[in-house]
Structure 1
């Protein structure tokens, strides 16, 4: 079978590999869709401290059960399934406190276990133990289901800063994650949602899809001034930096309202300069800055329900479908911003 295997930064190969077999307590899944994530781009270019090469990449996985390992019950060949990306241990102090997104022994598909950029993937017993294999609801396609993993991370990010009704929410970044944030904020009852993006073409494309109350092009002038003008000087209740930009993080505290919440959702690339936050603004406005990193198995299930109910549509965010053999082309499209969400179909 074909796989996309990571060996080192700058060395990712599409190659042939033996078809895997599930061991006891495992399930083999025929991959139907696995979306490309910005993290896949970062791993391919820069590596990742958690990944153990050589490793088959891909963590946004949807497909159908192909084979059951010994002792597995409750599943049947042909069942449509979505697989969590981050796998909590369920045993550490954080997991016992219910903080599964910051599990002290977290593992992940495509990092510690071979992922979904392959024709088949073996779902480890640890995923099953964490209730991390989700049955895809009727009416939800495999491509949509594969987007449940990033949507679950978006859900975690908004839960951490309590996005709710009457909030003015600013989402920075017009990529697929930013678009999901806009739609989820709407679903959670936000009164006003603003979308900020530096690239004018990308902003226009995203705004046409998700219809924010206002679309702000960051290249047109000072973002803080524009947000403050649109909010009559008050600022935003919640700001979500859904982009790998230190400048966006610096600016966020300038237009957050008093007691506003700022989600530092997008991680910064390694080796770059760190943002210079004005901590006096944090101090005097009593702002809350929150990191957002992952998602829990429960949030993955909730994300699938949001997609199935139509509360957060994702099908139109998947703009390109490519075969596994065109992985490098998919990566370049993501890097250039030429696509929103790209899904690979082995």
Structure 2
């Protein structure tokens, strides 16, 4: 079978490998779709401290079961499934308290276990142990189902920040995650949703599909001033920084309303993670700032349901479908920002 293995930064190789066999407690799936994201770009360029090469990467996974390992119940050959990416241990103090997204012993598909850039893959026992395999509803496209993983992360972030009925929301970053944030905020009853990006081409491409109430190009106007103008000087109830930029986080403090909430959704580069923050703004305006890290198995289930019911449409966000042999092109396309969501179909 064909796989895409990461060996070192800049070195992902297409190779032939033996088909795996499901052991006790495992499932073997034929990968139908494994979508790509900015994390795959980061891995390709810089590697990751949790990846011990060589490793088959890819973590937005949907496929069909072709073998059920001994002792696995409730699943059968032919079942369509979506697989979680972040795997909590289920037993540490954080997991015992229900805080699976900050599990101190978390593992991940495509990092600790071979992922979905392959024709076939093994779903490890650790995934089944935390109920991390989700049945794809009848009629739902596998590519759409693969987007449940990033949507689950978006769902976690918006729940932490309390996005809800009547909110004015600013999403900073018009990539696929930003588009999902716009769609989910709408589904949660937000009154207004504004989309901000410094790249005019990416902003226009995304805004044409998700139709925010305003699309603000930060290279052409002062985004803070524009948000304040749109809100009559009040600011927005929720700011979501879906961009790996310290400037976005700093600007969030300048455009948030009193008693507003800020989600630091996008992580910053490891070599430049420090921002300037006016503590008095947080203090006197009673601003809440939240982190958001990945998703839980339950978030994945609910994200898949949101997609299947049409509450959060994702089909039109999938703008490129490529073969596994085009994995390098797929990663380059994600890096260029010329597509919204790129999915690989092994």
Q: Within the alignment, does 1:45 sit opposite 2:45 as a pair?
A: yes
Per the alignment, in what secondary structure is the counterpart of residue 220 of structure 1? coil
Give the Cα separation in 2 of the matches to 1:203 and 1:105.
Answer: 37
Give the Cα separation in 2 of the matches to 1:107 and 1:226.
Answer: 41
Give the Cα separation in 1 of the matches to 2:155 and 2:79.
Answer: 26
Aligned length: 346
Give the Cα separation in 1 of the matches to 2:242 and 2:143.
Answer: 22
Q: Within the alignment, does 1:22 sit opposite 2:6 as a pair?
A: no
Give the Cα separation in 2 of the matches to 1:157 and 1:334.
Answer: 22
List gaps (5 residues or longer) in structure 1: none
Larger mean CA deviation between 330-339 and 46-55 belongs to 46-55
Give the Cα separation in 2 of the matches to 1:208 and 1:151.
Answer: 20
Q: Within the alignment, does 1:238 sit opposite 2:242 as a pair?
A: no
What stretches of structure 1 move > 4 A for 4+ residues in a row?
none
CA contact (8 A) 1:182 1:195 kept: yes
Instruction: Report the alpha carbon displacement of residue 77 of structure 1 after superposing the two structures with TM.
Output: 0.5
CA contact (8 A) 1:42 1:269 kept: no
Larger mean CA deviation between 50-59 and 78-87 belongs to 50-59
Instruction: Report the alpha carbon displacement of residue 273 of structure 1 after superposing the two structures with TM.
Output: 5.8
Q: 1:2 is matched with which residue? A: 2
Q: Over the residues paired in the alignment, what is the CA RMSD in angstroms?
A: 0.9
Instruction: Report the alpha carbon displacement of residue 280 of structure 1 after superposing the two structures with TM.
Output: 2.3
Give the Cα separation in 1 of the matches to 2:54 and 2:284.
Answer: 49
Q: Deviations over 1:12-43 (max 9, x none)?
A: 21111111111101000000000001111101
Call closer, same or farther: CA 1:217–1:303 in 2, change over 3 Å. same
Give the Cα separation in 2 of the matches to 1:250 and 1:54.
Answer: 38
Give the Cα separation in 1 of the matches to 2:161 and 2:40.
Answer: 26
CA contact (8 A) 1:152 1:303 kept: yes
Q: 2:203 is matched with which residue? A: 203
Q: Within the alignment, does 1:111 sit opposite 2:111 as a pair?
A: yes
Q: Deviations over 1:60-112 (max 9, x none)?
A: 00000010111111111010000000011110000011000111110010010
Instruction: Report the alpha carbon displacement of residue 115 of structure 1 after superposing the two structures with TM.
Output: 0.2
Q: Within the alignment, does 1:58 sit opposite 2:58 as a pair?
A: yes
Q: Deviations over 1:188-224 (max 9, x none)?
A: 0011100001111111111110111111111112111
Instruction: Report the alpha carbon displacement of residue 6 of structure 1 after superposing the two structures with TM.
Output: 1.0
List gaps (5 residues or longer) in structure 2: none
Give the Cα separation in 2 of the matches to 1:81 and 1:62.
Answer: 6
Give the Cα separation in 2 of the matches to 1:188 and 1:49.
Answer: 36
Larger mean CA deviation between 155-164 and 271-280 belongs to 271-280
TM-score when normalising by structure 1: 0.98
Q: 1:185 is matched with which residue? A: 185
Q: Deviations over 1:209-263 (max 9, x none)?
A: 0111111111112111100010011101100011111111111110011111111
Larger mean CA deviation between 226-235 and 284-293 belongs to 284-293
Instruction: Report the alpha carbon displacement of residue 271 of structure 1 after superposing the two structures with TM.
Output: 2.0
Give the Cα separation in 1 of the matches to 2:48 and 2:157.
Answer: 22
Larger mean CA deviation between 87-96 and 10-19 belongs to 10-19
Larger mean CA deviation between 307-316 and 199-208 belongs to 199-208
Per the alignment, in what secondary structure is the counterpart of residue 226 of structure 1? helix
Instruction: Report the alpha carbon displacement of residue 47 of structure 1 after superposing the two structures with TM.
Output: 1.3
Q: 1:131 is matched with which residue? A: 131
